[in-house]
Amino acid sequence: MERLTIAQALREGIREEMRRDERVFCIGEDIGVTKGFGGAFTVTLGLSDEFGHERILDTPISETGLVGAAIGAAMMGLRPIADVQYSDFLFCAMDQVINQAPKMRYMSGGKITVPMVLRAPVGATQRGAQHAQSVESYFFHCPGWKIACPSNAYDAKGLLKTAVRDDNPVFIFEHKKLYGAKGIRKVSGSIDASSDIPAEEYLIPFGQAKILREGKDVTILATLRMVYESLRAAEELASKKGISAEVIDPRTLIPFDYDTLYLSVKKTGRLVIVHEDTMTGGWGAEIAARVSADIFDCLDAPVTRVCAPDTPAPFSTPLEEFFVPDKEKIKEAVLKKA
């Protein structure tokens, strides 16, 4: 048992997988530079000491190139873990991410696999509109990617290891304010998402949501940083309003654990979905649409969503604070429908 941050837990997960399987390697910008940062958020810090620069491969600033190289290597049987420093930069690699990786197996009639992991940090951190996006929904819409979004170190490690062993392309969206990076790479406004990590190896299967707090009056579905805002909202709702909220973290968006969610909503009759991404066309819409259709009769109130407003992310601190959903807005949403 050891207390690790998400950045550390991911690092240990990568280390274990790279020790276990020679085909696993990391590819990205600034990830293995000697005396460097270990990637934008220290996740790969020190790994090139153990594995060398061929397996912790620094690239030019060429997102299309590096993501495409990962896809090609995966098609040939390696198991790359690629990363982009901020998820906003995925748009520079979008042809590879949308047109190639998730379609290659299908187009080959099932002959090819693309066992790659693509890590991408999301979330607003006072850096303006091009370093703030939560982009999960774009990929949620693209058939062929699995999507993990760990909210704590335990999940991060377990999901990463599962991702590396999956034969499909897998996204891991990590929240910048949850990494727990220390020192110069620390992000202000960080939340402690560290966990006790067992000494023994463990994997977390995809498609298994976690009920973080049991409740009976309303279900709150949230990912990443929004999990913490939701838990805080739930506590205050309980202590101040006597409302018992169940908080669920789906942990993976594709596959999505509808079973756990539906069971919960059948019990509570109410659902609030929370994501940091903007509302219109976000993944929350899909869940809301499905819940509203599949268990229509179990709903005591319409499904509500708490999301960022449909604007680019503003820079100024008070604006960004207003942009990102928080416990107050979640409470409001719960109270409005209660």
Ligand X SMILES: Cc1ncc(C[n+]2csc(CCOP(=O)(O)OP(=O)(O)O)c2C)c(N)n1
Residue 41 found at the interface with ligand X (CB under 6 A): no
53 is catalytic: no
Interacting residues with another protein between 299 and 328 (CB under 8 A): 309, 311-312, 314-319, 322-323
CB-nearer residue toward another protein: 25 or 283: 25
Residue 69 found at the interface with a copy of itself (CB under 8 A): no
Nearest CA to 153 out of 5, 322, 34 is that of 5
Q: Is 99 exposed, middle or buried (0-12, 13-18, 19+ CB in 10 A)?
A: exposed
Residue 88 found at the interface with another protein (CB under 8 A): yes
Task: Output the smallest distance, CB 88 to ligand X, in A.
Answer: 8
Phi-psi region of 35 (alpha: psi -120 to 50; beta: other; left: phi over 0): left
For a copy of itself, the binding residue among 62, 208, 311, 317 (CB under 8 A) is: 311
Residue type at 155 in one-letter notation: D
For a copy of itself, the binding residue among 3, 52, 61, 106 (CB under 8 A) is: 106
Residue type at 250 in one-letter notation: P
Residue of 131, 141, 175, 275 marked catalytic: 131
Residue 288 found at the interface with a copy of itself (CB under 8 A): yes
Q: Give the integer Cα–Cα distance in Å for 28 and 12.
A: 18
Q: Say if strands 170-175 and 117-122 run parallel, antiparallel, or are unpaired.
A: parallel
Task: Output the smallest distance, CB 18 to another protein, in A.
Answer: 13
**Cis previous bond, 314, omega within 30:** no
Residue 304 binding: pick among another protein, a copy of itself, ligand X, none (C-beta 5-8 Å cut-off by kind)? a copy of itself
Q: Give the integer Cα–Cα distance in Å for 118 and 169.
A: 8
Binding site for ligand X (CB under 6 A): 29, 61, 63, 85, 89, 92
